[in-house]
Chains A and B, each alone.
Chain A
Amino acid sequence: MTECAEQSMPSRLPDQTADVVVIGGGPAGLAAAVKLRRQGVSSVVVLERDVSAGGIPRQCSHPPFGVREFGRILSGMAYARKLVSLAERFNVDIRVRHSVVALHPGGELNVATPKGPLTLRAKRVLIATGVREMPRSARLVSGGRPSGIFTTGVLQSMVNLQHLKPCNRPLIIGTELVSFSALHTARGAGMKPVAMIESGSRITARRPVDLYPRILGVPLHYSTEIEKIHGRDWVEGVTVRNAQGDLLDIDCDGVLFTGRFIPESTLVRLSHLELDPLSGGPVIDQFGRCSDPAYFAAGNLLRPVETAGWSFREGEAVAKWISDDLKGSGQIEKTIREAKRVRVHCTAPVKLVVPQMIVPGSSDGMQHLQLRMLTRADGHLTVKADDQIIWQKRLSALPERRVLIALSALNVSETCKALNITMQP
């Protein structure tokens, strides 16, 4: 009967508690954890689902990382190692191979661990789960489903973590900053990208990075869209449609979809927390606090996509407010009692705004509203408090570029119901 007895033993681990649990061991999460410890928070646990912490920079062989955080230019890998050793030095309890599977009200988490499922209760939880690139499926690209279709993330982790090449001659889709980093990684691994294509009339990243493919002799086609992927077991080629509407076959053995980042907000989507369909991340106020005040969020989960350095600083900032909140000090403490939060909305061509709630009259917390545009937009960026214009500025903005509005410039009255952000001619 021993076997039966063993089988009926509960495999669940005893419940545990912590002051703050950080979900995600990337730049935002680790920076926040260190800051929390610096602020005197005694038990800070970082849950990292991967085999080691460090986040996306772990798989990036290229610089520049860490210029502002560590005062030197590092590769992504070196930066990730520095983040982890910094956290270890501050006695952050980093637990790798720990996957959070559900968020419950008040800071209760269900966690999968190799030693069995675990329930972890925290006074505060910081969600810092980052972003991922949009895969081929969500782009609704025509064609079969052969092997050889991947993203920059796959390319970089395969090349830099496993020393393997996903293909030899990829076609690169997109011209965000990450697309050029994909080009760099591919070339470094001995792959020969056949071309880059961009649906717009200019690159999405800042010039002059478009010189890079030119130097390498990799053609960059503008106003060109992917039409169909060919191949049964493995990619055999791609048909693209150019600006004139002509179809062109490109011979390649891989299709590399780059960028179009999406917040990794699965846990939020499947939880009680409010999600913002525009940003794809949780709804937060200017302290990074979610709809359940036990939860906070920071880093690229909030909006696609910023640099590791930005995520690091955002993690530190939100950590400070979490620590204030735990101590009952600072303005965050006042705002939670008064619970007065004004909703911030936006309409196209404004793609998203973060934070989605602000506390009027508070000078603490995030200092800016962060915006992104859906398309190239020219006009007057306008903030209305209910129907009243309270701020306006002439602006010409490209898609995916960060646009900031200083909160100190917005005089939001206590009676205001909502802010609306639009572009006006």
Chain B
Amino acid sequence: MEKSDLYDVAVIGGGVVGCAVARRFALQGARTILLEKGSDILSGASKGNSAILHTGFDAPKNSLELQCIKDGHAEYCDIRAKLNLPLLETGALVVAWSEDQLARLAGIVDQAQQNGIEDAVLVPAEEIYRREPALGEGVQGGVWVPNEYVIDPWSAPYAYLLQAVRNGAEARFGVDVQNGTFDGQHWTLHDQRGDIRSKLVINCAGLYGDLLDRDVLGQMDFSIKPRKGQFVVYDKAAADLLSAIILPVPSEHTKGIVITRTAFGNLLVGPTAEEQDDREDASADHATLKMLMDKAEELIPALCNMEVTATYAGIRPASERKEYRIQAHSDKNWITVGGIRSTGLTSALGIARHVYGLYEDMGYSNEALVDVEWPKMKNLSAHHPRDWAEPGYGEIVCHCELVTQREIEAALDGPLAARSPGALKRRTRATMGRCQGFNCTHRLAEITRGRITPEFSVGEVDD
């Protein structure tokens, strides 16, 4: 292999968008490096979302966002079997709970039609109750969108980057790009461990995208307005209460609170939409979580007897405008992918295609790979066989999520090995079940000793 230190493209940011972009460029034959400041992918906005694969039925008409959502949805469905990624074909129901909301349903169908989602149809209340008997009183009617699906929000981006790496890309963690220089042809990005030289830079820095543009590119066309979303995850027993994703009729201000099953077999309620200045503070608060639960129990009364498994918050990298902020700075060999606020999980693969098109428009081209390697993900979803169904797994370490020792060892190994507790959880689901580590933390502490940061323990017992 040629030992040149010049990359075709440096992708900054290991969120779902960065992972998908790195994959696209690697598969197209570009010499690609992904730089992430955290110790793992998905350390920022992509860590917490609602895990829905959207159709774009309610996306802004004729927008780039709509195009990317549709392309992303199509490509995910196309490649997911080859990567062994799950797809829970739930469909979604936009449910009207008042006369006022009922009156707006026709407009939703209309917009879906214009967006090319032609199978979105009005459904009467009786039909909704027939399909979803656990829904509480007050359903007036709804819109059925059959191709809204549920996916595994962590395995998908992991698969994208792993495929990139297996096909020649590099990924470096703990690289916080603060400055760089452009000599008219190439970028030199500065890092303590050595400079990185690349023909093109793609800013996929999510919550820090505006600051990266300002500090390195030298111009800032948008600013990130962090928007927090809190979620409550109910016990797996609750998932039987629902079939489809239940979406609210959006108001002027917000898309509202969604109730959906998850790929892992739980029931998820959220998100809130809370504007804040802090780009890091994904803290939950008691009153809001309680509000979410009250809301959920109003829509599905049987939830009142269900246990809560987890709570979390994610921060969406919204900008001051609604649309995606994707821009090619041809004179500077720089593409900014910003403001991917809440549809990034779906649109990432579509964004990646769009960005590759921008790169070609800049006059670049590569020879696409012929023999593409397709790494198979370990299935973590509840509706496909898990690792424990195959003999020789050693022991089940996390009993709630039935995570095997073999899965944990695999996650701690390989080119994108988990190096933090969060990374290990996202790769395996260990401690993410109903006991939240009561039963398995001690075993994890032993297995991961010296292999992750921070560790599960602070050291040995004093004798």
**A interface, CB within 8 angstroms of B:** 11, 49-51, 59, 97, 99, 101, 112-117, 132-133, 135-138, 140-145, 147, 150-151, 153-154, 157-159, 161-168, 189-190, 228, 232-234, 253, 262, 264, 266, 269-270, 277
A132 near B402 with CB under 8 A, answer no
B290 near A161 with CB under 8 A, answer no
Q: Which residues of B contact A141 (CB under 8 A)?
A: 286
How many inter-chain residue pairs (CB < 8 Å) link A and B? 147
**Would A97 and B445 be within 8 Å (CB), given that A132-B439, A147-B456, A270-B237 are in contact?**
no
Instruction: Enumerate B373-398 residues with CB–CB distance to A below 8 Å.
Output: 388-396
Q: Out of A97, A232, A270, A277, name the residue touching B236 (CB < 8 Å).
A: A270
Q: Which residues of B contact A162 (CB under 8 A)?
A: 442-443, 445-446, 457
Chain B residue with minimal CB distance to A271? Answer: B237
B284-308 contact mask (Cβ, 8 Å, vs A): 1 or 0: 1110011001000000000001011
Q: Which residues of B contact A253 (CB under 8 A)?
A: 458
The complex places the Cα of A390 from the Cα of B308 at a distance, in Å, of 38
Q: Which residues of A contact B449 (CB under 8 A)?
A: 164
List, sorted by A's number, 13 A–B pairs whose CB atoms are closer than 8 Å.
Answer: A132-B438, A133-B438, A137-B233, A137-B436, A141-B286, A142-B283, A143-B283, A157-B442, A162-B445, A164-B445, A166-B457, A233-B454, A270-B236
B336-351 contact mask (Cβ, 8 Å, vs A): 1 or 0: 0000000000000000
Q: Out of B290, B438, B458, name the residue touching A167 (CB < 8 Å).
A: B458
Q: Taking the nearest CB of chain A, how far is it from the CB of B166, in angstroms? A: 21
Q: Taking the nearest CB of chain A, how far is it from the CB of B441, in angstroms? A: 4
B370 within 8 A of A: no
The complex places the Cα of A161 from the Cα of B459 at a distance, in Å, of 14
B391 near A116 with CB under 8 A, answer yes
The complex places the Cα of A190 from the Cα of B438 at a distance, in Å, of 21
Q: Taking the nearest CB of chain B, how far is it from the CB of A336, in angstroms? A: 28
Chain B residue with minimal CB distance to A269? Answer: B237
B307 near A97 with CB under 8 A, answer no
Q: Which residues of B contact A266 (CB under 8 A)?
A: 236-237, 400, 434
Chain A residue with minimal CB distance to B442? Answer: A157
**B interface, CB within 8 angstroms of A:** 233, 235-237, 280-286, 289-290, 293, 305, 307-312, 388-396, 399-400, 402, 421, 434-439, 441-443, 445-446, 449, 454, 456-462
**Would A135 and B446 be within 8 Å (CB), given that A51-B395, A97-B396, A144-B282 are in contact?**
no
Q: Which residues of A contact B443 (CB under 8 A)?
A: 162
Closest 4 interchain pairs by CB? A190-B462, A135-B436, A157-B442, A164-B457
Q: Which residues of B contact A151 (CB under 8 A)?
A: 437-438
The complex places the Cα of A304 from the Cα of B194 at a distance, in Å, of 58
A158 near B396 with CB under 8 A, answer no
The complex places the Cα of A151 from the Cα of B441 at a distance, in Å, of 10
**Extra pairs beyond A97-B395, A162-B445, A163-B460 (7, CB < 8 Å):** A114-B391, A117-B389, A162-B443, A189-B461, A228-B285, A253-B458, A266-B237
A161 near B442 with CB under 8 A, answer yes
Q: Out of B390, B400, B442, name the residue touching A158 (CB < 8 Å).
A: B442
Q: Out of A101, A135, A277, name the residue touching B402 (CB < 8 Å).
A: A101
Chain A residue with minimal CB distance to B293? Answer: A140
Chain A residue with minimal CB distance to B312? Answer: A145
Q: Taking the nearest CB of chain A, how far is it from the CB of B174, in angstroms? A: 13
Q: Taking the nearest CB of chain B, how far is it from the CB of A97, in angstroms? A: 5
Q: Which residues of A contact B236 (CB under 8 A)?
A: 266, 269-270
Q: Which residues of A contact B421 (CB under 8 A)?
A: 147
Q: Taking the nearest CB of chain A, how far is it from the CB of B374, in angstroms? A: 17
Q: Taking the nearest CB of chain B, how far is it from the CB of A170, in angstroms? A: 11
Q: Which residues of B contact A270 (CB under 8 A)?
A: 236-237
Q: Which residues of B contact A232 (CB under 8 A)?
A: 280
Q: Out of B285, B389, B436, B456, name the residue touching A112 (CB < 8 Å).
A: B389
B457 near A137 with CB under 8 A, answer no
A99 near B402 with CB under 8 A, answer yes
**Would A154 and B437 be within 8 Å (CB), given that A49-B396, A147-B456 are in contact?**
yes
Q: Which residues of A contact B308 (CB under 8 A)?
A: 137-138, 140
A112 near B442 with CB under 8 A, answer no
B391 near A159 with CB under 8 A, answer no
Q: Taking the nearest CB of chain A, how far is it from the CB of B387, in angstroms? A: 10
Q: Which residues of A contact B309 (CB under 8 A)?
A: 137-138
A158 near B441 with CB under 8 A, answer yes
Chain B residue with minimal CB distance to A158? Answer: B442
The complex places the Cα of A159 from the Cα of B235 at a distance, in Å, of 29
Q: Out of A97, A112, A132, name the residue touching B435 (CB < 8 Å).
A: A132
Q: Out of B305, B312, B394, B458, name the residue touching A114 (CB < 8 Å).
A: B394
Q: Which residues of B contact A277 (CB under 8 A)?
A: 305
The complex places the Cα of A158 from the Cα of B280 at a distance, in Å, of 30
Chain B residue with minimal CB distance to A113? Answer: B391
The complex places the Cα of A233 from the Cα of B458 at a distance, in Å, of 13
The complex places the Cα of A164 from the Cα of B312 at a distance, in Å, of 28
B290 near A140 with CB under 8 A, answer yes
The complex places the Cα of A194 from the Cα of B110 at a distance, in Å, of 61
Q: Out of B285, B396, B435, name the residue touching A135 (CB < 8 Å).
A: B435
The complex places the Cα of A113 from the Cα of B389 at a distance, in Å, of 8
The complex places the Cα of A140 from the Cα of B396 at a distance, in Å, of 28
B286 near A168 with CB under 8 A, answer no
B311 near A140 with CB under 8 A, answer yes
A163 near B286 with CB under 8 A, answer no
Q: Out of B307, B311, B390, B441, name the residue touching A150 (CB < 8 Å).
A: B441
**Would A154 and B460 be within 8 Å (CB), given that A11-B389, A270-B237 are in contact?**
no
**Would A164 and B442 be within 8 Å (CB), given that A135-B435, A138-B309, A143-B284 are in contact?**
yes
Chain B residue with minimal CB distance to A254? Answer: B458
B312 near A112 with CB under 8 A, answer no
The complex places the Cα of A16 from the Cα of B421 at a distance, in Å, of 39
Q: Which residues of B contact A167 (CB under 8 A)?
A: 458
Interface centre among A137, A228, A253 (most CB of B within 10 A): A137
The complex places the Cα of A358 from the Cα of B289 at a distance, in Å, of 39
Chain A residue with minimal CB distance to B386? Answer: A112
Q: Which residues of A contact B395 (CB under 8 A)?
A: 51, 97, 114
The complex places the Cα of A56 from the Cα of B458 at a distance, in Å, of 23
A269 near B235 with CB under 8 A, answer yes
Chain A residue with minimal CB distance to B406? Answer: A114
The complex places the Cα of A271 from the Cα of B163 at a distance, in Å, of 39
A157 near B441 with CB under 8 A, answer yes
A142 near B286 with CB under 8 A, answer yes
Chain A residue with minimal CB distance to B463? Answer: A190
Chain B residue with minimal CB distance to A97? Answer: B395
**Would A165 and B460 be within 8 Å (CB), given that A11-B391, A136-B436, A147-B421 are in contact?**
yes
The complex places the Cα of A141 from the Cα of B307 at a distance, in Å, of 15
B461 near A168 with CB under 8 A, answer no
The complex places the Cα of A150 from the Cα of B235 at a distance, in Å, of 19
Q: Taking the nearest CB of chain A, how far is it from the CB of B241, in angstroms? A: 12
Chain A residue with minimal CB distance to B434? Answer: A266
The complex places the Cα of A158 from the Cα of B460 at a distance, in Å, of 10
A159 near B396 with CB under 8 A, answer no
Q: Taking the nearest CB of chain A, how far is it from the CB of B240, in angstroms? A: 8
Chain B residue with minimal CB distance to A163? Answer: B461
Q: Which residues of A contact B459 (CB under 8 A)?
A: 164-165
Q: Which residues of A contact B460 (CB under 8 A)?
A: 163-165
B445 near A140 with CB under 8 A, answer no
A144 near B283 with CB under 8 A, answer yes
Q: Which residues of A contact B392 (CB under 8 A)?
A: 114-115
Q: Taking the nearest CB of chain B, how far is it from the CB of A269, in angstroms? A: 4
The complex places the Cα of A228 from the Cα of B279 at a distance, in Å, of 19
Q: Which residues of B contact A147 (CB under 8 A)?
A: 421, 454, 456
The complex places the Cα of A148 from the Cα of B457 at a distance, in Å, of 8
A234 near B454 with CB under 8 A, answer yes
Q: Which residues of A contact B280 (CB under 8 A)?
A: 232
The complex places the Cα of A153 from the Cα of B441 at a distance, in Å, of 9
Q: Which residues of B contact A97 (CB under 8 A)?
A: 395-396
